[in-house]
Amino acid sequence: MSRLSDLSERIPGRVHGPGSPEYDSGRTVFAGVGEPEAVVRPRTVDEVAAAVALAAASGIPIAVRSGGHGLLPVDDGLVIDLVEFGSVEVGADGRVSVGGGARWGVVAAALAPHGLGLSSGDTRDVGVGGLALGGGIGWLVRQQGLAIDRLREVELVTASGEVLTVDAERHPEVFWALRGGNGNFGVVTRFVFEAAPAGGLVGGSVQFDASDVPSVLRAWRDVMRSGPDELNSTLMLMPAFAPGMPAGPHLGVALQGDLEHLHELLQPLLSLPSVTETSLAPVAYGDLLEDAPPGRPPLAFVGGNGFVPDLSDEALDAIGGAYARDIPTMVMLRALGGEFGRVSPDATAIAFRDAEAFLIVNGLLPADAAPEQFAAARTGSDAALALTDGVYGNFSVDRGEQVIAAMYPPATLERLRRVKAQLDPGNVFRQNHNITPAG
């Protein structure tokens, strides 16, 4: 705390050290508990600017906390906890102004009375900050694109403590970088999104047993390939790892349309003999979102993720093979295409716009498993991941240059590094998927 005594004087009562509940809450993220020097809870943009400027002047690295659902706990420096920046205001023009520390469930609840929604993620508690800066793959991705594709303006506190309003006209390169470049460019205190109509939804789930996974994978691919943008879905292949959670494929689906049309579209899946349960009904967008599990289960998730350019039979066989191996394995396939694919690869920092689906493959191991088991789990995921492009940082627990090189094609990464050099040459914001400044 001693390095931060100036900050305690500048913002009395807002800087919290070890032993306080504010420190404990600020250092805890979904994936674990870090050991930062202190946590500051600013109430105003000026206080954020003061915290950034003072930390930067002392060479103290800064981490930002929005919803705390990140996967990278921090063990150094100052955490700026945006818990006081949770407001959401819906304008008459469908624009919604969202504090940098708000959560997506609050955004969905505020938009619902207006018949509007924003495709964000699957979970209410996830923070707007982390999810949006990393891209944001949500329920309505084929209709609305990523969360960043609906972003129109950002209020940003830079490493020098300057407050910028950033949009397509003002600081356009920074606006480009913020859409997918994660928290590398400063503290976002406010996002402005353009919401879209999200009423008239039907959806729910279809559960299958594990007797014929290849047929489920092919039928799902065909349904989503020929389906309209209004049809969105995620197919999970679940291992039997919790009581009451049956093993086998689980389809989560939503359609902006009527129930009869949904049944028609899903017919190739619903007619499979391995279907064990179907639950489809009208649903509000906010009710599609789930509450987050209380924390990460005490298991190691070993594998990775990527964007699948082509759900060929070869790719589906590799995905089915990863699921069928001896190690309990969880697979998530989310259909992309639609509006996601109409955005040019260089319009934002998320470049893999030709992907047909997003894939996560994770072997689940006890945290104390032997190194050979970890190696086997990783190798078993490799064949499926080899047919993907890139990595989606928001779902990656790995840090370092290798992940960054996978997250961005070379030209995108160089462009991000140039923006980083302008805004944060000292790399104060490095407690993240770090983009180093161009030399």
Element (H, E) at 415: helix 410-423
Element (H, E) at 341: helix 339-342
For residue 363, which phi and psi values (nearest 5 degrees)?
Answer: -75, 140
For residue 15, which phi and psi values (nearest 5 degrees)?
Answer: -105, 125
Q: Binding pattern to ligand FAD, positions 139-158, x when CB under 6 A?
A: --------------------
Residue span binding ligand FAD (CB under 6 A) among the ranges 16-24, 122-130, 213-221, 241-249:
122-130
Instruction: Report the relative pairing of strands 201-208 and 248-256 from DSSP bridges.
Output: antiparallel
State which residue, 65 or 417, has the beta carbon closest to ligand FAD.
65
Residue span binding ligand FAD (CB under 6 A) among the ranges 39-47, 127-135, 259-267, 379-387:
127-135
State which residue, 318 or 435, has the beta carbon closest to ligand FAD.
435
CB of 333 to ligand FAD, least distance (A): 13
Q: How far apart are CA 363 and CA 356, in angstroms?
A: 23
Asked if 65 interacts with ligand FAD (CB under 6 A), we say: yes
| Strand, helix or coil for residue 138 | coil
CB of 312 to ligand FAD, least distance (A): 25
State which residue, 66 or 329, has the beta carbon closest to ligand FAD.
66
Asked if 66 interacts with ligand FAD (CB under 6 A), we say: yes
Q: Binding pattern to ligand FAD, positions 389-428, x when CB under 6 A?
A: -----xx---------------------------------
For CA atoms 161, 415, 394, 103, the dihedral sign is positive
Cβ proximity of 433 and 391 under 8 Å: no
Asked if 99 interacts with ligand FAD (CB under 6 A), we say: no
CB of 296 to ligand FAD, least distance (A): 8
Cβ proximity of 299 and 242 under 8 Å: no
Any alpha helices (H) in 28-181, and if so which ranges?
Answer: 45-57, 104-111, 128-134, 141-144, 172-178
CA proximity to 399, closest of 363, 421, 431: 431
Asked if 78 interacts with ligand FAD (CB under 6 A), we say: no
Site for ligand FAD in 288-347 (CB under 6 A): 292
CA proximity to 273, closest of 212, 204, 206: 212
Residue span binding ligand FAD (CB under 6 A) among the ranges 65-73, 168-176, 305-313, 418-426:
65-73
Residue span binding ligand FAD (CB under 6 A) among the ranges 132-140, 267-275, 336-344, 373-381:
132-140
State which residue, 146 or 376, has the beta carbon closest to ligand FAD.
146
CB of 84 to ligand FAD, least distance (A): 12
CB of 146 to ligand FAD, least distance (A): 8
Q: Which of 133, 300, 357, 435 is in the footprint of ligand FAD by CB under 6 A?
A: 133
| Strand, helix or coil for residue 65 | strand
Residue 439 has which token pair?
Answer: 């030399």
Q: How far apart are CA 336 and CA 354, in angstroms?
A: 9
Site for ligand FAD in 160-199 (CB under 6 A): 182-183, 187-188
State which residue, 86 or 268, has the beta carbon closest to ligand FAD.
86
Instruction: Report the relative pairing of strands 78-81 and 62-65 from DSSP bridges.
Output: parallel
In this structure, the dihedral spanned by the alpha carbons of residues 20, 294, 104 and 158, taken in order and rounded to 10 degrees, is 40
Cβ proximity of 430 and 420 under 8 Å: no
| Binding footprint of ligand FAD on the chain (CB under 6 A) | 29-30, 63-72, 82, 100, 121-123, 126-127, 129-131, 133-138, 182-183, 187-188, 292, 394-395, 432
